[in-house]
Structure 1
């Protein structure tokens, strides 16, 4: 334990002694990890929004104009209230289909009210008696990939006038979502590899500048482990210090973006990842990446100088 703290103190003194090289190394780590952190935040939230949009895709089933599928009772010619024999006939057939998760009913009056609210005075010409819209069953599938199949099955049911699920636009959205996932992961992997390469080479330059120091220690009989430990800790310090600025940048930029965009997204039943704990996980990952790359980059870079 005493030896560890001696090496720790020695690593801190060496950072101060090699001031400019330390600043260069920390600056390189900061710039690289800032790019990694920002790109990761954008990618993960883009993928989340794409998934949210997929999950919001529904099958709108428009019933016939004179449909009574959602009315339990009817009024006959004599003015008497009787049970509706065709009550839920369409509803039950839809629920019986594979991959149907839930059904929400929206009457034509409700649909008209939504249109009037969204479109303004243009649709206020219509009242309940002249409402040109139809009752709708909003069908949710167990998985977005089944939307097209379920829509095709529903369109065959008697009592259904038409079905809408977005058609070609929806299929295009699914393709775009898959492209985002695939290329986003490849981009993240490439950026991490680039980060490892840049940080490792920067640390290697600091080691090269002190190669004579390492060789002298080796010649006077110091063990490899004794020589290696301070450099290992120096690399860890460089990675840790270099990750502090990127962590602060990611935190404040994400906070601004979250407060600006998320309220509007929530109105559309979408959302970004919440600040807590997402940002803290991301910051922890940046600190860990910095420490691992910095410390092991130091050890790997100095191996050649431990051979006399």
Structure 2
């Protein structure tokens, strides 16, 4: 017990002596965690949004004429030959007209003078959930476009491609911000611990002469790294949470943000980010001790 009390006193003394660099390191770690967590939060929500929208993904094959039962069976076999699908539904001209009228709602009276067979028949193809990568959907669409009697294939191409490339861009940003977090955290903590060691060089030499153990000398510096990681990452996560809540309140009401459910990190994800930050700060502290603390 007396060992830890002494170590804690040494940590407090180190913090007081180098409070300027300690504060700068704390702010740097907090900012690095905030930047990384911010982009990772957007990325994770975009992935969840993509999963939800992917549940409604379907390829619409517009046909020249309504296929009879025999041709429907042939088309079904050809579609399933390319890949497994969740469902295939043939939509007649009359069904397409009724759907369009329902979508128009109160404005459906604009169809009063229109013939009920002016819309083309179609096939609604829903691919398997595990086969919905962009390249796979593109290949599937090209294959469906070659089916007999096909006029056009639609699946929201432009939107799907833009969403896919946006998530790819976010993944690159998350990777870069994660690299920034690693480099800045290790560098800043290492620099701060180095200043502390150099400022107490004479005292550390004296401790060695009087027989202080390696653990007694090293533990305070390791605890400094742990505290920097714990406090810095906690401040970063709390700041992001406050920013997230402010954005939700600020943009509450009709708008894009309310079309989808955006959620903050789960407690486990937050704890994981904090734990990784603590580990990185501890590594920075340890590497500096190995280089400048000759014991």
TM-score range, shorter chain: 0.7 to 0.9
Query: Are residues 143 and 94 of structure 1, via their aligned partners in 2, closer, same or farther at CA, if it must alter by over 3 Å?
Result: same
Distance in 2 (alpha carbons) for counterparts of 1:27 and 1:178: 30
Distance in 1 (alpha carbons) for counterparts of 2:77 and 2:253: 38
User: What's the TM-score once normalised by structure 2's chain length?
Assistant: 0.75
* Conserved? CA contact 1:108–1:135, under 8 Å: yes
Q: How much has 1:89 moved relative to structure 2?
A: 5.0
Q: Residue 143 of structure 1 corresponds to which residue in structure 2? A: 132
Query: Are residues 55 and 85 of structure 1, via their aligned partners in 2, closer, same or farther at CA, if it must alter by over 3 Å?
Result: closer
Q: How much has 1:87 moved relative to structure 2?
A: 5.8
In structure 2, which of residues 81, 87, 94 is the aligned counterpart of residue 102 of structure 1?
A: 87
For the residue of structure 1 that corresponds to 2:211, the secondary structure is coil
Query: Are residues 12 and 177 of structure 1, via their aligned partners in 2, closer, same or farther at CA, if it must alter by over 3 Å?
Result: closer
Deviations 1:122-166 (A, max 9, x none): x63114962422333222223232222222322333354432234
In structure 1, which of residues 230, 236, 246 is the aligned counterpart of residue 226 of structure 2?
A: 236
Deviations 1:227-262 (A, max 9, x none): 101221222122212222112112223345567589
Q: Does residue 1:27 correspond to 2:27, yes or no?
A: yes
* Conserved? CA contact 2:229–2:279, under 8 Å: yes
User: What's the TM-score once normalised by structure 1's chain length?
Assistant: 0.72
Runs of 5+ consecutive residues of structure 1 not aligned to the other structure: 70-83
In structure 2, which of residues 225, 249, 270 is the aligned counterpart of residue 283 of structure 1?
A: 270
Runs of 5+ consecutive residues of structure 2 not aligned to the other structure: none
Q: Residue 171 of structure 2 corresponds to which residue in structure 1? A: 181
In structure 2, which of residues 164, 176, 195 is the aligned counterpart of residue 205 of structure 1?
A: 195
For the residue of structure 2 that corresponds to 1:60, the secondary structure is strand
Q: Does residue 1:216 correspond to 2:202, yes or no?
A: no
Deviations 1:207-243 (A, max 9, x none): 3333333222123221222210122122212221222
Q: How much has 1:298 moved relative to structure 2?
A: 2.5
For the residue of structure 1 that corresponds to 2:124, the secondary structure is strand
Task: Give the number of equivalent residue pairs.
Answer: 285
Q: How much has 1:108 moved relative to structure 2?
A: 0.6
Distance in 2 (alpha carbons) for counterparts of 1:13 and 1:102: 66
* Conserved? CA contact 2:33–2:181, under 8 Å: no
- Aligned-residue CA RMSD in angstroms? 3.8
